[in-house]
Structure 1
Amino acid sequence: MSLRLSARVDLDGVVHKHDKSGFPLTELTLALPSGVDLRLLRRAARGQKSGKEDVTARLHVEDEDGNRRTFNLVFVRSSTKDFVYGIVMQLDFNPRHNLEHYLSGYVMRDTEGAPPFLDFDVEIRPINASPLLEAAQGLQDTLNGSDTLESVTISYQGKSATLTSQTRAATSAALTQAIRENRESN
């Protein structure tokens, strides 16, 4: 299950600078329209920073000729200016991106709300924390549907688990109960 958010945004600022390692980067400040789900954006930013969720943030820009370009972005921080909520996104600087060319049509347009547009979208996909759990569930389903398999032992990084079929587990529990009752009566 993934969560998506798409919005037409306004460009509030572009800054070219260097990170702590000296690599060039570009920070874009995007002004969000009212009604955008800010909780989803916060979740995306936190998920991207922690690595617990697979987050894809993109900015789609068209130039004057109608050529569409997509830029992958990374969340930096949020901002508020003149009661307008914005987000600061980072883009690794690459002169081949030709970012200024694509943004020039947006900046130089005659009227606000006229093309070209800046479309921003975010997708959040949860990461399965343990692929072993998914594999174990598949094996358990196979065991429960089988007449011949009784148990399967799986191991991963020095840990092991034995999965038993429901019929074997029920039979084993009944035998254990019968043995206990037999011991108590003697």
Structure 2
Amino acid sequence: MSDRTKRGASGAFEIKVPTRAALLSTAGVILLGLSFLSVETYNMMPPILPGYPGDAFFPRLVLGFCVIWAVIILARSIFLSQAAAAARYEAPYVVLHWLEFASVIVLVLLYALLVEPVGFEITTVVLMMALLVPRLLAGPRATPARAALLALALSLATMLILYAGLGPGLKIGLPLKFLPTYIQ
């Protein structure tokens, strides 16, 4: 029984998965995704200038770094015996909250679909509030008003930081509705 179940959340929304299986499947999925992205870097434009590494250099560098860590996680989960894991006080099971996981996936897909018609500012604030309010309500002294106010403040701060970094900072065009556009 998890801490959330003790506080009244239903155990029906939880799945217990052996830690080793969770690590193996996570590392496997990450390696498959990294393999796909590595293949996609070969579709990038070749370098135009002699001596210039080209557009694919940095993505391949990041992908290589990620592959190293995924292989470390995979090797650790394969070669670390269960006795050694028990000696290190690792939990034998990982509790997955599938409803929360599915809701985050749905929210991110909605964000991707609605950012263009609704606007970056509104969509980002609404997404962040939808993610933050339930987590802030889980606190010991949480009230709905306090959770909503704190979520709104954090959502606005996140949106402004992303806007400043992506818009004026990196000159990336955003589908804005009321903040000034820096790129024509």
TM-score range, shorter chain: under 0.3
Q: Between Structure 1 and Structure 2, which shows a larger proportion of helix residues?
A: 2
Greater radius of gyration (CA): 1
Q: Report the TM-score when normalising by structure 2.
A: 0.24
Q: Between Structure 1 and Structure 2, which shows a larger proportion of strand residues?
A: 1
